[in-house]
Structure 1
Amino acid sequence: MTEQDSFVRAILDDPNENTHRVVYADWLEEQNTAASRARAEFIRLQVSSAAETLIDPPIGREESLLKKWGTRWLPKTARLDAGMLGSETSFNTVRFSYDSVHAVYEFGRGFIATVSLGNRDGFDGRMLGHLMRECLANNPVERFLFHRWEHRPLIAVEVAPAHGDWRVDMRLGQNAEELFSTLITGTRKQLLKGLPNWMSEEFERIDVEPDPAEIPF
């Protein structure tokens, strides 16, 4: 494990603690490259904004950093897609679209916090599980939202530490009000390993194909 990996691992293992994020930002700044300084500044800005320690948060600066560097902070698959297709930034999000797919990556406290994917052609649970694993490998993502299309939630998957374990809740419905399934693992490593199979099994139990009569185009 590299020194950088150890800092990121501390954040992943204890995502609610801001101190780990600030320490990582300090280390990044010490590396003294344009990319590392930008990431350090972005983390500090978002942590301070979330903690409400800034009277007038420089939202414009946050968005400017995300516009210049945001695609580089995405997981590999999303980074490649955004690079080929072009992306847009808005406040704390990076988004891109192609064919029937719409993707939004929302940052919180310096890291990806929410991933939202829309696909009017339906989903493959195992493929989504691999995507989730890739996102969670270096980001403390709290929530994944899967839509039939851009503005119609279908499934919400929430990830959080729980009493020494890791818990993943799958919720259904437009407001994600219905708890459908729960996965509990002892370690984050077990969580990442088990996600593709779990998502595949759970999606077999859900009718995830869109109703053509409901699609507004």
Structure 2
Amino acid sequence: MNERDALLRAVCDTPDDDTPRLVFADWLQEHGDEARAEFIRVQIALARGDASARLKEREQELFAAHQEVWEQPFEKFKAANSFRNLIYDVFFHRGFIRALVICDEEKQFADHATEVFQLAPIQRITFFHKWPHAASAECAELLRLKELRIYRAGFETKALGALLRSKSLLNVTRLELIADNDNGYLTAEGIELLSRSTALPALRHLDLSYNCIWLAILTEGDLIGQLESLKLRCTDIDDSGAEVLARCERLRSLTHLDLTANRIGDRGLRALATSRNLPRLTTLDLRHNLYDTEGGVEIRGCTPETRQILEDRFGAGVLIDGRLEE
């Protein structure tokens, strides 16, 4: 292993530590790659909270000029005899590629995972389209992940069960299972597998948006008690669903609840506002809901009386108006 490879290995092995990244930047500058060295330092400064317009502009200038070269090591991962790349997109953070978007319809990920994770400190992967869960879920390299997103991949119960039994997800803190009209939704059986899974001890953030959620099943298992944030955007939740959440004693650790684009009425909103089972909840996102009044009339935005109850409970943490963020 040469000096450069050793320095990169240190970055990959300690992804949360900026010191190996800055050491690598110094080495790059000493060996003539001043642009990449500067890019690493600029992105670290941005990640540490320096939000100056000039720094952001410099980041974009460097990236536009050198993106193709910096992403070149991942160009080799193309599925044989297919129009789809295995690595579909990459995202930089703190100077190195942190996140990948993968299309594994050709079942190449398991074969290349070791090499992929040696190239960069990968901590987030998005799998989209049909993903062979059983073939890839046991890759030991997934232990490096903090965030796993499965999007437009379908959620067949057998395949999902293989994923949720994996011993390689022990360090995942954020899981997103995003449904899609063409590729399917979580079933009741899938929700039950998730709610009772013991394979995700570090999980704190769960996103099940665009599924049809069986909340009674989701809230029965112990997994819900680990969560700090729960996103249920566009999941057809009504008053009864909101009441299920309000009654759930396992949600006591929840600080953020996203219920945007649902159809919760006054009854459900008041149940959430008065629940004693949500003592830590500071952010309740209710934007783009259709609210049912007592007379059965749908309105955008809630009644003034209910709005006041919500604001009294959550203050600025209740989001009722405004555009949704992607």
Question: Normalising by the residue count of structure 2, what TM-score does the alignment of the two structures yield?
Answer: 0.40
1:109 aligns with 2:91: no
**Could you list the runs of 5+ residues in structure 1 that have no partner in the other structure?**
82-97, 186-210
- Aligned twin of 1:124: 106
Give the CA deviation at 1:13: 1.3
Tell me the alpha carbon deviations over residues 91-130 of structure 1, each in whole angstroms, 9 at most, x when there is no partner: xxxxxxx945682110111111111134xxx6133x1123
Quick check: 1:21–1:43 contact (8 Å CA) kept in 2?
Answer: yes
Specify whether residues 59 and 154 from structure 1 end up closer, same or farther in structure 2 by C-alpha distance, changes over 3 A only.
farther
* Range 69-78 or range 42-51, more displaced: 69-78
Q: Secondary structure in 2 aligned to 1:58?
A: helix
2 CA distance for matches of 1:56 and 1:129? 41
Relative contact order higher in (CA < 8 Å, ≥ 6 apart): 1
Alignment of 1:72-111 (within 5 A): 72-74=69-71, 76-78=73-75, 99=83, 103-111=88-96
Identify the residue that residue 91 of structure 1 maps to in structure 2. Answer: none
- Which of 166, 171, 187 is the matching residue for 1:182? 166
Cα offsets for 1:55-102 (capped at 9, x unmatched): 446222212222222222225352687xxxxxxxxxxxxxxxx94568
CA contact (8 A) 2:100 2:122 kept: yes
Cα offsets for 1:28-50 (capped at 9, x unmatched): 1111x2xx111101111111111
Identity of matched residues, %: 27
Q: What residue is the counterpart of 1:139 in the other structure?
A: 120
Tell me, in whole angstroms, the C-alpha distance in 1 between the residues paired with 2:11 and 2:140.
Answer: 13
Counterpart in the other structure of 1:205: none
Structure 2, unaligned runs of 5 or more:
154-159, 170-179, 184-326
One-letter amino acid of the structure 2 residue matched with residue 214 of structure 1: D
- Is 1:63 aligned to residue 60 of structure 2? yes
Work out the CA distance in 1 between the residues paired with 2:149 and 2:53: 36
Quickly say closer, same or farther: Cα 1:128–1:79, change in 2 above 3 A.
Answer: closer
Q: Which amino acid aligns with 1:108?
A: H
Compute the TM-score of the two structures, normalised by the length of structure 1.
0.57
Confirm or deny: 8 A CA contact 1:75 1:134 kept in the other structure.
no
Larger Rg belongs to: 2
What is the root-mean-square deviation in Å for CA atoms of aligned residues? 4.2
Partner of 2:22: 22
Q: Distance in 1 between matches of 2:95 and 2:145?
A: 22
Question: Which residue is 1:94 aligned to?
Answer: none
Equivalent position amino acid for 2:36 in 1? R
Q: Output the CA distance in 2 between the equivalents of 1:116 and 1:41.
A: 26
State yes or no: 1:48 paired with 2:45. Answer: yes
**Residue 9 of structure 2 contacts residue 118 of structure 2 at CA under 8 Å; is this kept in 1?**
no
Whole-angstrom CA distance in 1 between matches of 2:14 and 2:37:
19
Task: Please identify which structure carries the higher strand content.
Answer: 1
Preserved CA contact (<8 Å) 1:115 1:145: yes
Counterpart contact for 1:148–1:154, Cα < 8 Å:
no
